[in-house]
Structure 1
Amino acid sequence: MTVPRSTLRLQFHRGFTFDDAARRVDYFAALGISHLYASPITTAEPGSMHGYDTVDYTEVSAECGGEAGLRRLVDKLRAHDMGLIVDIVPNHMGVGGSSNAWWLDILEWGRHSTYARHFDVDWHSPDPALRGKVLLPTLGAPYGDELAAGRIALRFAPDSGRFHIGYGPHVFPVCPVDYAAILQSADRADLSALANRFQGLTTQPADQPRAADARDALREFVAREGNAAIESVLETYAPDDPVTRDRLHRLIERQHFRLAWWRTASDEVNWRRFFDISTLAGVRVERPEVFDAVHTLIFRLYREGLVDGLRIDHVDGLAEPREYCQRLRQRMTELRDTTPYVVVEKILGRGEPLRDDWPVDGTTGYDFMNDVGALLHDPAGAEPLARTWAELTGRSPRFADEALVARRKILAENLSAELDRAARALHRIARDSLNTRDFTFTTLRRVLTELVVHFPVYRMYPQNGLRNAADNVYFDVALASARATLPRSDHAALERVNAWLGDGVEDAPAAPPAPATRSGSTGSAAAGSAQQQAHNSGPLPHAGSARRNAQTLFAQLTAPLAAKAIEDTACYRYGRLLSRNEVGSDPGEFALSVEQFHAGNLARAERFPHALLATATHDHKRGEDVRARLAVLSEIADEWSATLRAWSTLNAPQRRALDGTPISSVSQDKRDAWAPGPAAEAMLYQTLVGCWPPDLRADDEAGVQQLAERVAQWQLKALREAKLQTSWLAPDEAYEAGCREFLFGILAPQQRDGFLKELSTFVARIGRAGALNSLQQTVLRLASPGIPDLYQGTELWDFSLVDPDNRRPVDFAQRETWLAPTQTPPSEFLTGWRDGRVKLGVIQRLLALRTHLPELLSQGTYLPLAVRGKHASNVIAFARRHGNAWAVVLASRLAMGLLDAGGAAGGAEATAAADGTRGAHGTHADLPLVEPALWEDTAVEMPADLSARALFDWLSPAAPKVDNGSLLYLRDALAAMPVAVLVEDGVPRG
Structure 2
Amino acid sequence: METEGFSAIRIPSATYRLQFNVHFKFTDARDIISYLHDIGISDIYASPYFKAKEGSLHGYDIVDHNTLNPEVGTEEEYNGMIQELWKYGMGQMLDIVPNHMCIASKENIWWMDILENGPSSRYADFFDIRWEPVKRELKNKILLPVLGDQYGKILEEQELKLVFETGAFFIYYYDHKLPVMPNTYREIVQYRINDLKEQLSSENPHFVELLSIITALNHLPLYTEKNPEKIAEKYREKEIIKRRLWSLYSESPEVKGFLDENVRLFNGTKGEPKSFDLLDDLLNKQVYRLSHWSVATDEINYRRFFDINDLAAIKVENPAVFRETHTLVFKLIKEGKVTGLRVDHPDGLYNPLLYFQMLQRRCFLYTKLGSMKNVEETPDAEATILKQYDELLLSNPQAKPFFIISEKILIKGEKMPEDWPVFSTTGYVFLISLNGIFVETANAKAFDTLYSRIMKSKGNFQDIVYEKKKFIMEVFMSSEVNTLGHFLDEISEKNRHTRDFTLNSLTSIIKETIAFFPVYRTYITTPEVTERDTRYIELAIAKAKRKNPIINESIYDFLKEILMLKYFKNLDNDAKREWVDFVMRFQQITGPVMAKGLEDTALYVYNRLVSLNEVGGSPDRFGTPLETFHGQNIETSKLWPNALIATSTHDSKRSEDVRGRINVLSEIPDEWRECLMRWRRLNKKKMVISEIQMAPDSNEEYLLYQTLLGAWPVEHMNTSEYGIFMKRIKDYTLKALREAKVNTSWKSPNVTYENAVMDFVEAILKDVRGNLFLKDFQLFQKRISHYGMYNSLSQTLLKMTSPGIPDFYNGTEIWDFSLVDPDNRRPVDYRVRMKILEELKKQESEISLEKLARELTVKRENGKIKLYVIYKALNYRKEQRELFERGEYIPLTVTGGKSYNICAFARRFESKNIITIAPRFFTKLIPQVEMLPLGNEVWKDTCIVIPFAETGTKYRNIFTGEIVAAKEQQGTVLPLSEVFTNFPVALMEGV
Give the TM-score normalised by structure 1: 0.91
Partners of 1:783 and 1:726 lie apart in 2 by 44
Shift of 1:465: 4.3
The residue number in structure 1 matching 2:395 is: none
Partners of 1:454 and 1:629 lie apart in 2 by 33
Partners of 1:339 and 1:508 lie apart in 2 by 42
Contact 2:525 2:584 in 1 (8 A): no
Deviates more, 1:782-791 or 1:856-865: 856-865
The residue number in structure 2 matching 1:130 is: 138
Contact 1:186 1:236 in 2 (8 A): no
Shift of 1:239: 2.9
C-alpha offsets along residues 662-689 of structure 1, whole Å, 9 cap, x if unaligned? xxxxxxxx8xx11111111110000001
Shift of 1:222: 3.5
Shift of 1:930: 4.6
Contact 1:466 1:501 in 2 (8 A): no
Shift of 1:498: 0.3
Partners of 1:291 and 1:947 lie apart in 2 by 60
The residue number in structure 1 matching 2:982 is: 976
The residue number in structure 2 matching 1:300 is: 331
Shift of 1:390: 1.7
- Is 1:688 the counterpart of 2:705? The answer is no
Contact 1:447 1:490 in 2 (8 A): no
Contact 1:572 1:721 in 2 (8 A): yes
Partners of 2:245 and 2:552 lie apart in 1 by 61
Shift of 1:957: 3.1
Match of 2:262 among 233, 248, 251: 233
- Is 1:382 the counterpart of 2:444? The answer is yes
Partners of 1:827 and 1:59 lie apart in 2 by 50
The residue number in structure 1 matching 2:569 is: 508
- Is 1:941 the counterpart of 2:945? The answer is yes
Report how many residues are paired.
916
The residue number in structure 1 matching 2:904 is: 877
CA pair 946-135 structure 1, distance change in 2 beyond 3 A: farther
Partners of 1:966 and 1:254 lie apart in 2 by 84
SS in 2 for 1:119: coil
Contact 1:827 1:838 in 2 (8 A): no
Partners of 1:806 and 1:295 lie apart in 2 by 29
The residue number in structure 1 matching 2:561 is: 499
CA pair 129-26 structure 1, distance change in 2 beyond 3 A: same
Contact 1:381 1:635 in 2 (8 A): yes
The residue number in structure 2 matching 1:281 is: 312
Contact 1:32 1:844 in 2 (8 A): yes
The residue number in structure 2 matching 1:617 is: 649
Shift of 1:600: 0.8
Partners of 2:854 and 2:500 lie apart in 1 by 73
- Which residues of structure 2 form unaligned runs of 5+? 1-8, 197-206, 226-230, 369-399
Partners of 1:486 and 1:95 lie apart in 2 by 40
Partners of 1:395 and 1:192 lie apart in 2 by 76
- Is 1:77 the counterpart of 2:85? The answer is yes
- Is 1:554 the counterpart of 2:586? The answer is yes
- Which residues of structure 1 form unaligned runs of 5+? 510-538, 660-669, 906-924, 986-990
SS in 2 for 1:460: coil
Match of 1:737 among 751, 755, 778: 755
SS in 1 for 2:964: coil
Partners of 2:76 and 2:671 lie apart in 1 by 57
C-alpha offsets along residues 73-113 of structure 1, whole Å, 9 cap, x if unaligned? 10111011111110000000001222211111111111111
Shift of 1:375: 1.3
SS in 2 for 1:463: coil
SS in 1 for 2:963: coil
Partners of 1:629 and 1:114 lie apart in 2 by 54
The residue number in structure 1 matching 2:611 is: 579
- Is 1:590 the counterpart of 2:622? The answer is yes
CA pair 92-557 structure 1, distance change in 2 beyond 3 A: same
- How do 1:39-54 and structure 2 match up within 5 A? 39-54=47-62
Partners of 1:54 and 1:331 lie apart in 2 by 22
Shift of 1:751: 5.2
C-alpha offsets along residues 612-641 of structure 1, whole Å, 9 cap, x if unaligned? 111111111111100010000000012111
Which amino acid counterpart does residue 956 of structure 1 have in structure 2? Answer: T
Shift of 1:702: 3.8
Contact 1:14 1:64 in 2 (8 A): yes
The residue number in structure 2 matching 1:515 is: none
Partners of 2:55 and 2:509 lie apart in 1 by 43
Match of 1:778 among 778, 790, 796: 796
SS in 2 for 1:56: strand
Which amino acid counterpart does residue 577 of structure 2 have in structure 1? Answer: S
Match of 1:600 among 609, 622, 632: 632
SS in 1 for 2:66: strand
Shift of 1:753: 5.2
The residue number in structure 1 matching 2:15 is: 7
Match of 1:242 among 273, 287, 290: 273
Partners of 1:584 and 1:628 lie apart in 2 by 18
- How do 1:828-977 and structure 2 match up within 5 A? 828-900=855-927, 903=928, 905=929, 925-927=930-932, 929-945=933-949, 947-964=951-968, 966-977=972-983
Partners of 2:179 and 2:325 lie apart in 1 by 23
SS in 1 for 2:695: coil
SS in 2 for 1:651: helix
SS in 1 for 2:535: helix
Which amino acid counterpart does residue 956 of structure 2 have in structure 1? Answer: F
Shift of 1:649: 0.4
Deviates more, 1:149-158 or 1:409-418: 149-158
Which amino acid counterpart does residue 553 of structure 1 have in structure 2? Answer: R
Match of 1:804 among 805, 810, 822: 822
SS in 2 for 1:889: strand
Partners of 1:395 and 1:358 lie apart in 2 by 43
The residue number in structure 1 matching 2:462 is: 400
C-alpha offsets along residues 222-244 of structure 1, whole Å, 9 cap, x if unaligned? 44457534312202312324344
Contact 2:438 2:623 in 1 (8 A): yes
- How do 1:177-192 and structure 2 match up within 5 A? 177-187=183-193, 188=196, 189=207, 191-192=210-211
- How do 1:154-165 and structure 2 match up within 5 A? 154-158=162-166, 161-165=167-171
C-alpha offsets along residues 858-892 of structure 1, whole Å, 9 cap, x if unaligned? 22111111112222111011001122111100010
Contact 2:952 2:965 in 1 (8 A): no
CA pair 755-488 structure 1, distance change in 2 beyond 3 A: closer
Partners of 2:264 and 2:891 lie apart in 1 by 78
C-alpha offsets along residues 914-958 of structure 1, whole Å, 9 cap, x if unaligned? xxxxxxxxxxx254x255323222111103235443110011233
Shift of 1:827: 4.5
Partners of 2:731 and 2:985 lie apart in 1 by 35
- How do 1:703-742 and structure 2 match up within 5 A? 703-742=721-760
Shift of 1:249: 0.7
Deviates more, 1:100-109 or 1:202-211: 202-211
The residue number in structure 2 matching 1:58 is: 66
The residue number in structure 1 matching 2:686 is: 654
- How do 1:622-641 and structure 2 match up within 5 A? 622-641=654-673
Shift of 1:978: 2.0
Contact 2:856 2:864 in 1 (8 A): yes
Match of 1:442 among 483, 504, 518: 504
Shift of 1:62: 1.2
Partners of 2:815 and 2:856 lie apart in 1 by 13
Percent identity, aligned pairs only, is 36
Partners of 1:366 and 1:435 lie apart in 2 by 45
The residue number in structure 2 matching 1:341 is: 403
CA pair 115-971 structure 1, distance change in 2 beyond 3 A: same
Contact 1:90 1:313 in 2 (8 A): yes
The residue number in structure 1 matching 2:172 is: 166
Deviates more, 1:552-561 or 1:817-826: 817-826
The residue number in structure 2 matching 1:197 is: 216
Which amino acid counterpart does residue 180 of structure 1 have in structure 2? Answer: R
SS in 1 for 2:668: helix
Shift of 1:645: 0.9
Shift of 1:336: 1.4
The residue number in structure 2 matching 1:313 is: 344
Contact 2:180 2:286 in 1 (8 A): yes
Which amino acid counterpart does residue 294 of structure 1 have in structure 2? Answer: T
Which amino acid counterpart does residue 607 of structure 1 have in structure 2? Answer: L
Contact 2:926 2:938 in 1 (8 A): no
Partners of 2:823 and 2:257 lie apart in 1 by 50
Which amino acid counterpart does residue 173 of structure 1 have in structure 2? Answer: P
